[in-house]
Homo-oligomer: A and B are copies of this chain.
């Protein structure tokens, strides 16, 4: 039984302080919340599938053409030998394997946490026109080329053409704000009003999910951008307060230099 830290495979970026993926951030938050020792191994986008096959990590999806789709986060736990893919599965693994640490997915909420994500994604869908081109730009060249090529193939348009400009921007950005407004109203459910997190006073996977998405925006748009400054003002500063409450679980980010 090894006492080496758990390995978190994550995607690097060019932006300082920016682990690239909102999905790996969920796991990063979970590690720091639980106080578990981990170390990051940075993997460029085109190397993900080979890594997963090599270490025996399951694909997180099967494409319509039947091909497996591999994605990060993946963790490798030297203590148990386990290799786990998918942020929700990783959270559940950590909850089960380290029962003395605070739970990320409280008992009985596995389905509800999953559907929160579906509802959130639906509400904030209009963000995609902004976040896709923004987040592509902060990848390192090897990942950027791969990400842009594969995403342009699935969206059937150039990522740079997705970004709304002029009047279209006015309208689209208001739609993004309205989407977050919907999430804000959910969080303001009477029995949850004034409480910081989705489950009230206790942080959980759903908050890490929102936090990861907010970090994506902060990193993609840049802290000094008008877009990010807007977001930090929306809904009485809810998103600013949330990302601030989660700050202590971001943890120190290890060097991304090769």
Interface residues of A (CB under 8 A from B): 88-89, 92, 105-116, 118-120, 122-123, 186-187, 189-192, 198-200, 202, 206
Contacts and interface: CB of A to CB of B under 8 A. Distances in A.
Given A108-B109, A108-B202, A109-B109, 20 more contacts: A89-B190, A92-B191, A107-B200, A108-B200, A110-B189, A110-B191, A110-B200, A111-B116, A111-B198, A111-B199, A112-B113, A112-B198, A112-B199, A115-B119, A115-B120, A116-B116, A116-B119, A118-B123, A118-B186, A122-B122
A182 B189 CA distance: 25
Contact of A115 (B88, B106, B186): B186
Contacts of A187: 111
A105 B191 CA distance: 10
A9 to B, nearest CB: 21
Contacts of A199: 108-109, 111-112
Determine the main DSSP class of A at the interface with B. Answer: helix
Nearest to A105: B191
B109 A189 contact: no
A112 B110 contact: no
A186 B92 contact: no
A113 to B, nearest CB: 7
A191 B205 CA distance: 14
A239 to B, nearest CB: 15
Contact of A122 (B109, B119, B186): B119
A118 B114 contact: no
Contacts of A107: 200
6 contacts: A110-B192, A112-B115, A118-B122, A118-B123, A119-B122, A122-B122
A174 B87 CA distance: 31
Contacts of A105: 191
Contacts of A200: 107-108, 110
Which of A111, A123, A202: most chain B Cβ within 10 A? A111
Contacts of A110: 189-192, 200
Nearest to A200: B108
A112 B118 CA distance: 11
